[in-house]
Amino acid sequence: MTFRYESVVPWGRSYEEYLRMFDLRPDDLKGRILGCGDGPASFNSEFTRRGGRVVSVDPLYEFSAGEIARRIEETRDEVISQTRCEQDRFVWDTIGSVEDLARVRMAAMKTFLDDYESGKCDGRYLAAGLPDLPFEDREFDLALSSHLLFLYTEQLSLDFHRVGLLELCRVAPEVRVFPLLDVNAVLSHHLEPILDELESSGLDAQIRTVPYEFQRGGNQMLRIRARE
Ligand SMILES: C[S@@+](CC[C@H](N)C(=O)[O-])C[C@H]1O[C@@H](n2cnc3c(N)ncnc32)[C@H](O)[C@@H]1O
């Protein structure tokens, strides 16, 4: 997988946001979790600190902490100014302002960076990604995909979504995906055909409302489980 440094825009959410995006309850956190496309989110670091078992995969992890930190510095102002231009696409309640957003995201990414090199040595951050994951069948209890599938509807084909989701279902009996909106805060046009595909593959796919909404209207996740 080739991932060009200049095209990377690292941006990561916090553990607390993951809990709400995926409506994770204590029982969900007991097993081994895969975070697919976790990038510089602090979920892995904070969950590990709390005694959780988690592996994150992302092509970004082919870079060193220094390279990722430099890229964050190079791109953050652009991301923030873009968000400022598109403010009405977001709900400013938990995160109160664009400045607040910058603080929250930078804090999450600092937590990630502080943990990254040691986490890499422990095998918690692996440079890999969809559509092929370097894991055995059912190596995890739960797989999470935050802000990758459906969000990048225009960049990632329907076939990539189909194959990627089946791959996640291969490595875990339960998969949760958030959000279901694309970058323009419109419901992904891949969702409907994907639901049909999952149904015909014998998987149980349900859309659930979650206690998280930052993109306006983005408070739903897809939960996929193997049928009993
Ligand atoms: C918008 S970021 C989301 C980061 C994190 N999940 C979060 O919600 O804060 C999308 C991430 O997907 C990663 N990514 C891109 N292509 C991927 C692939 N084929 N497999 C896994 N991750 C990928 C990117 O490197 C990036 O870190």
Does residue 89 sit in helix, strand or coil?
Answer: helix
Instruction: Among 105, 116, 148, say which to mutate for ligand 1: greatest number of ligand atoms within 8 Å of CB.
Output: 148
Q: 227: pLDDT confidence band, cut at 50, 70 and 90? A: confident
Q: Residue 1: what pLDDT?
A: 46
- Which residues have C-beta within 8 Å of that of residue 162, sequence separation ≥ 6? 193, 194, 197
Q: Which residues contact 48 (CB under 8 A, 6 or more apart)?
A: 54, 115, 119, 124
Beta carbon of 179 within 6 Å of any ligand 1 atom: no
What is the pLDDT at residue 4? 77
- Is the pLDDT at 185 greater than 80? The verdict is yes
Q: Over range 103-116, report the average pLDDT.
A: 98
> Whole-angstrom Cα distance, residue 60 to residue 63?
6
> What is the identity of the amino acid at 23?
D
Ligand 1 mean position, distance from CA 14 (Å) = 14
Tell me how far the alpha carbon of residue 163 lies from the centroid of ligand 1, in angstroms: 16
Q: Is 113 in the pocket of ligand 1 (CB under 6 A)?
A: no
Residue 12 CA: nearest ligand 1 atom is: 9
Task: Determine whether the shortest distance from the Cβ of 143 to ligand 1 is under 6 A.
Answer: no
Q: What is the pLDDT of residues 78-103, one digit of tens each?
A: 999 999 999 999 999 999 999 999 99
Cβ burial, residue 132 (10 Å; 0-12/13-18/19+) = exposed
Nearest CA to ligand 1 atom 6: 38
Could you read off the pLDDT of 13-72 as tens digits, one per residue? 999 999 999 999 999 999 999 999 999 999 999 999 999 999 999 999 999 999 999 999
Range list of β-strands (E), 52-198: 53-57, 125-126, 142-146, 174-178
Task: Decide: helix, strand or coil at residue 135.
Answer: coil
Residue 58 CB–ligand 1 contact under 6 Å: yes
pLDDT of residue 160 exceeding 70: yes
Mean pLDDT score across all residues of the chain: 96
Closest ligand 1 atom, CA of 145? 6
Q: Decide whether any atom of ligand 1 lies within 6 Å of the 41 Cβ.
A: yes
Sign of CA dihedral 90, 155, 60, 19: positive
148 pocket-lining for ligand 1 (C-beta < 6 Å): yes
Ligand 1 centre distance from Cα of residue 137 (Å)? 22
Task: Find out whether the beta carbon of 133 lies less than 6 Å from any atom of ligand 1.
Answer: no
Entry pTM: 0.97
**What's the confidence (pLDDT) of residue 226?**
87
If one counts every other C-beta atom within 10 angstroms of the C-beta of residue 87, the result is: 11
